[in-house]
Every structure is written in C-alpha cells, then in structure tokens.
Structure 1
Amino acid sequence: MAENAAKRLKTESGLVTIGTHNGHFHADEALAVYMLRQHIPTYSGARLVRTRDPKLLDECHTVVDVGGEYEPARYRYDHHQRSFATTFPDRPTKLSSAGLVYLHFGREIVARRLAAPEDSEQVGLIWRKIYEGFVEALDAHDNGISTYDPAALAAAGIEKRFSDGAFTLGSVVGRLNPNWNDPVPDDPVAAQAAEDKRFELASQRIGEEFDRDLDYYTQAWLPAREIVAGAFAARPEFDGEGRIMVLQGQSAPWKDHLYSLEEQIQVAGKVLYVLYPEKPTLDAKWRIQCVPNSKDSFQSRKPLPEVWRGFRDDKLDEISGINGCVFVHAAGFIGGNKSFDGALAMAKKALEI
C-alpha cells in the first residue's frame, strides 16, 4: 500500500507542494506533513501551503486534512467528509490525516529505517505497532473519540482522582497555537507567515516524538524479540509451571513480547515474575519484577509479599529468610537482590505466599 518514489509529483522547479488548512492547527496534519517531508524522499524540501482556498489547494500536488477528498491516486488525504469511514486494518478508530498518510506511507517509512523490504514480517510488525502505540491516538483525538466510553464510565461511577495535566500527544501540538489574546500583525501576509512559523514548529515537535518511537521500535524493541522468546522458552528451568522468566546477560524490553508470546502459544500458566540483571556484568545485582496485568497497568498479576514491602537490606533478609536482599518496593511490584540465586529464591518463595 506504500507509495513509491516514482510518483511523478515534482514540479518543474523540482519541489513538491503540500497543502493543508490554515488557522488553528492540530496534531494530525502536523504529523502528516512531517512524515512526508522527513521520511519520503519524493517530498524532501517540499513547499507547504496553508490555506482553505480551493483554487490554491487544486494547485498542490498533495493535500492533507482539508479539501473534502480522500483520493490516494490523486494524493488527497482528507477525512472530514460525511462519507469517510476508513480505518487502519483491524482497528476500529476512524483515521485522521495522520492515519491516512501513515496508512499509505508508513510501511515505506519503517522499511527505510530497517533497510528491509516493505512486505517483510518485521516491517509489518513495526508498522502496526507504531500505529497502535502512537498514530491511533492522534486519529482518535482529531475525530473526538475518547479513550474510554464516557457513558460506561459514568454508569460505573468512575471519576478521575486527580488531573493528569491534559498532557497528551494532541496537546504537544495544540499548546503551540497562539493564545487568543496574542498580538496579530495587521498585514494579512505577515499574519499568515507568523501562523505558519508556529505550525512548522509544531510539526517538528510532534515529528520528533514520532521519530523517537520509530527509533525505539526499530533499534531496541525489535532486537529484544529474540531475547525474550529465548527466555520464555527456558522458563521450565526455573519453575516447573513456567511462572518465572529469566533474562540472562542484559535486560531488554520484555512486556510487549511476553504478552504476545503468551497469546500466541496459549500457555496454561502465565509468567508472574521476570528476573534480570541491573547491568551486563558478572557482579551485577538482580531485579525481580512482577508482571503487570497489562502493559500500562500498575496492578501486578502477583505482587511480592506484603510483609516484604518497604524493607531493605539486613531487615529484609531477616523477614524473608533469604540472604542478599536489597529492597522490595512499598507497592510490591519490584524488588532486588545482590545475586541471581538470591533473586530466584525471592521469586520462588513469593510464589508460595
């Protein structure tokens, strides 16, 4: 579905023109413009036109988030028309301009970073992962879709305990719009130039966050797959029921991979504790971490024993009956020991309590 460089989009001057709307800007078109300009060679150095004038938009080779058309053959990527209902494969969220550009160009973006074929399994895996973990939030935000069903929350009587500061991916861009009472140049051309300058800053800002995700998934998350898969397969060495997983040598991002392995293999018993060294040296201390109920949950499948929580060193040795203890967090989701054998002993004893 990716669009290759041979799109014949360049003008006689050698530059592509991207059109989007002027006025108050949002995260979806800011990211859409960034992805095209920074990751697709055809759009390198593309000129940006921010307008709602149909005549000016008609002159643009590519238009995002305005114009009332979704016609990928003509490089039109708007989602505001009443008939629009396109979603990412197997996802329920209606796309915004960010999702549309990522749908058509995301595989190429990932493939270039991995130096791998667009149709490879690795590219497809990361293409989907970045959509679900990053782009989909922008699609939902721009289409007015809440993370949780408001009616269900109200029916359950669930209210926020505190303000989260309303700091979201959408707000990263939204807060760069001018304030209502900021001075505006009298000259319309100067006023538009000032607004465009803010948009360029916003596009760069959300793009930096996108690139951090792209770098993480290609350079750290993907290489961790093999490490976690090996540790998952070796679980019976440490616990007959497979409830303890050990990451040897060096800790690696494991949560996503563990959940997907459990789902794929349909194991009877789930992993409760993950052991890993604090650093890749022979004298490293070891951590025991409880597996959360879900990736972003603060609730563990089986927290460390309540009687251990909040204690350290010799006192924790005395309470647990295990030598070399370093600490157990007051919330019971993580602990430490001076050695692997000690951390394993903590995990095994915690299983019994």
Structure 2
Amino acid sequence: MKIATHNNLFHADEVFALAILKMIYPDTILIRTRDSARLQEADIRVDVGGKYDSEGGDFDHHQAEFDLKRENGIPYASAGLIWKHFGGKVAGKEVVDYIEKELIQQIDANDTGFDTYSINVCKPYTISDFIKSLNPSWSEQSEESFNRNFEDAVLIATKLLRQEIKRAEEVINAKNKIILKINESDKEYIILEGRIPWKETVVENSDLKYVISYDKIEDNWAILAVPISMNSFENRKDLPAEWGGLFNKDLQKITGVKDAIFCHKKLFFAISKSKEGAIKLVEIALGKK
C-alpha cells in the first residue's frame, strides 16, 4: 500500500489521517510530495491532489468545490474524511462515534479555521498545536528533517489514537454499569469499587451530587463532586467551604471523620482512607449528618 500526502510543513489533520491508515495498513510506503506524477503512484492520496473521491483513493478538502460539513457545521478535513471512511476498520461504531466527537472534530475544526470556543483568558494548547510544534525549527528545515519529523509525529499520533480507542471502549463498557448503579441508588451519590470512567454517564443520566470511588493503587476512597456539565468546572454541589485545602488532622477535626485525608481547596475532590469515612464525608456535605 502506497499512501501520499504533501511535503513540507505538516499539520494534525494529515498526521492523524496517516496514523489511522497505518493502523490498517502497517506496511504502508509513505510518499510526501506535491508532484502530480508521483501522487498518481499512490493508492491513497491524503490532504493533497485537489480531489475528494473515496472510491478512487482521493481525500483532499482544499478544492473550491468541496463543501462537506457535519450537522454541527464543522467542515471535514483529511483526518475526518479518513476517519469517516476507514474508522470502522479499527473500531466498532460506538467507539468510532466517540472518537469522532472527542478528537477528530477538533482536529478538523482547527485545520479549517472553524471556531469551537471563545477565549476568556488564555488560548488552550490543543493537539493540533502539539503536532504543529513537531515541525523542524526554521534553522533546521530540510526535506529530510520534515520527512523524519513527520514520521515521528505519525508514530505519536498512532499511539495516542490507540489509547483513545481503548479509553473509549472502557467508557462505553462502563456506561451500563454506571446506569445500573444510578438506577439502584436512592441517594444523591453512588459508590464505585474502582476508578471506572463515570463522568459523562453521570452528568447526562442523573441528578447525583457526588461519586465515591475506590483507588486500589493508593488504597483509599475518593469523593468527587459531579459538575453541572461536561465542560464546566462548576459543581452541582461543592464540598463544604470550610474543608477546602485541609489535610489529615485538620480535616479530621472539622469533620469528625477520623480517617479523612484531604479536601481540595476548589471543593470538588476529597479523600478518605476507608469507604465508611468517604460515605460519612458525603453525608455531611449533603447535610444528612
């Protein structure tokens, strides 16, 4: 399998497009060029060539007539086009949809100049910024350095993509377990016997205020406040203000919980050595004790 993309400066969209394809075709021969004759040697052309024809192996989005957008308005770039046509070869549909929403759309939005957020204080450092930083510095630029760094970037993107797929699978597999816990609970919190990914499911499917979860590495129990939405740092209910920033004896004294360990000063996170201690802290926070 020969896959071509453009040479010189690279961006996250073609880097991740190549990462996706190399997961499917690990023995890919990469061609980086804008020369039309060399492009025709490739089986697949990504982010170059001025044509979108999936059956013909063309996945460019720069041509004037290209206007493919998602329902939310985000235009497709090469990462999105490749994920749209090849994502199903590396993951199941639920995972494909999850990765599309969590990763691919952000890459395409950045590449096409589509604003997805407003800046209040400082600009977020995105995965697109990181990939861009892997280009050779101006004093080191050569065809060889661009090609070498591009291949390094694809390796990094492949590793990240594999991990995101694994994480997505775990989130999806955990969803039914979390919903069962929510339905079984008659309280404003649930207890998880491990660090199961819970946030999205709890935020979208419940009115819970807190989640208690066991950390087997530290052998203690964490109390986490549920945010009002996935992209918010505001909690449905803060932990008590007087707990903020306290450790061990100071926290134990004010709460009466003998194995309380810590409460974050932002009031979204606390730790107790035992499950019983964590439950007591939550009950106090809810005004039940």
Q: TM-score, normalised to structure 1's length?
A: 0.75
Confirm whether residue 131 of structure 1 aligns to residue 126 of structure 2.
no
User: Could you say what secondary structure the match of 2:14 adopts?
Assistant: helix
Specify the alignment match of 1:21 in structure 2: 6
Confirm whether residue 96 of structure 1 aligns to residue 96 of structure 2.
no
How many residue pairs get aligned? The number is: 288
Write the deviation string for residues 16-43 of structure 1: whole angstroms up to 9, x where unpaired. Answer: 2211111211111111112112x22xx3
Question: 1:51 deviation in Å?
Answer: 1.4
Matches within 5 A, 1:137-156: 137-149=106-118
Q: Please say if residues 290 and 304 of structure 1, whose CA atoms lie closer than 8 Å, have aligned partners that are also in contact.
A: yes
Q: Match for 1:33 among 9, 14, 18? A: 18
Residue 177 and residue 315 in structure 1: after superposition, are their counterparts in 2 closer, same or farther (change >3 A)?
Answer: closer
Specify the alignment match of 1:13 in structure 2: none
Confirm whether residue 45 of structure 1 aligns to residue 3 of structure 2.
no
Write the deviation string for residues 146-175 of structure 1: whole angstroms up to 9, x where unpaired. Answer: 3315xxx6xxxx433xx75xx421122212
Q: Please say if residues 273 and 288 of structure 1, whose CA atoms lie closer than 8 Å, have aligned partners that are also in contact.
A: yes
Q: Match for 1:84 among 51, 60, 66? A: 66
Q: Please say if residues 94 and 172 of structure 2, whose CA atoms lie closer than 8 Å, have aligned partners that are also in contact.
A: no
Specify the alignment match of 1:197 in structure 2: 148
- In 2: Cα distance, 1:159 partner to 1:308 partner: 28
Q: Please say if residues 172 and 205 of structure 1, whose CA atoms lie closer than 8 Å, have aligned partners that are also in contact.
A: no
Specify the alignment match of 2:275 in structure 1: 340
Specify the alignment match of 1:170 in structure 2: 128
Q: Please say if residues 12 and 131 of structure 2, whose CA atoms lie closer than 8 Å, have aligned partners that are also in contact.
A: yes
Q: Which moved more, 1:78-87 or 1:272-281?
A: 272-281
Q: Which moved more, 1:66-75 or 1:223-232?
A: 223-232
Question: 1:253 deviation in Å?
Answer: 0.9
Residue 310 and residue 194 in structure 1: after superposition, are their counterparts in 2 closer, same or farther (change >3 A)?
Answer: closer
Q: Which moved more, 1:306-315 or 1:135-144?
A: 306-315
- In 2: Cα distance, 1:318 partner to 1:178 partner: 56
Question: 1:214 deviation in Å?
Answer: 1.4
Write the deviation string for residues 291-321 of structure 1: whole angstroms up to 9, x where unpaired. Answer: 1223343221111010122223333233224
Confirm whether residue 289 of structure 1 aligns to residue 224 of structure 2.
yes
- In 2: Cα distance, 1:317 partner to 1:323 partner: 5
Residue 251 and residue 34 in structure 1: after superposition, are their counterparts in 2 closer, same or farther (change >3 A)?
Answer: closer
Q: Match for 1:314 among 210, 230, 249? A: 249
Matches within 5 A, 1:230-309: 230-236=180-186, 239=187, 243-247=188-192, 249-262=193-206, 270-279=207-216, 284-309=219-244
Specify the alignment match of 2:57 in structure 1: 75
Q: Which moved more, 1:47-56 or 1:72-81?
A: 47-56
User: Could you say what secondary structure the match of 1:286 adopts?
Assistant: strand
- In 1: Cα distance, 2:85 partner to 2:249 partner: 58
Question: 1:96 deviation in Å?
Answer: 0.8
Q: Please say if residues 172 and 206 of structure 1, whose CA atoms lie closer than 8 Å, have aligned partners that are also in contact.
A: no
Specify the alignment match of 1:117 in structure 2: none
Unmatched runs of 5 consecutive residues or more in structure 2: none
User: Could you say what secondary structure the match of 2:90 adopts?
Assistant: helix
Q: Please say if residues 250 and 280 of structure 1, whose CA atoms lie closer than 8 Å, have aligned partners that are also in contact.
A: no
Q: CA RMSD in A?
A: 2.3
Q: Please say if residues 173 and 203 of structure 1, whose CA atoms lie closer than 8 Å, have aligned partners that are also in contact.
A: no
Q: Please say if residues 203 and 228 of structure 2, whose CA atoms lie closer than 8 Å, have aligned partners that are also in contact.
A: no
Specify the alignment match of 2:171 in structure 1: 221
Q: TM-score, normalised to structure 2's length?
A: 0.90
Residue 322 and residue 34 in structure 1: after superposition, are their counterparts in 2 closer, same or farther (change >3 A)?
Answer: closer
Unmatched runs of 5 consecutive residues or more in structure 1: 1-15, 111-122, 185-191, 263-269
Write the deviation string for residues 169-195 of structure 1: whole angstroms up to 9, x where unpaired. Answer: 1122212222222264xxxxxxx3443
Write the deviation string for residues 110-133 of structure 1: whole angstroms up to 9, x where unpaired. Answer: 0xxxxxxxxxxxx22211111111
- In 2: Cα distance, 1:124 partner to 1:46 partner: 25
Q: Please say if residues 235 and 246 of structure 1, whose CA atoms lie closer than 8 Å, have aligned partners that are also in contact.
A: no
Specify the alignment match of 1:351 in structure 2: 286
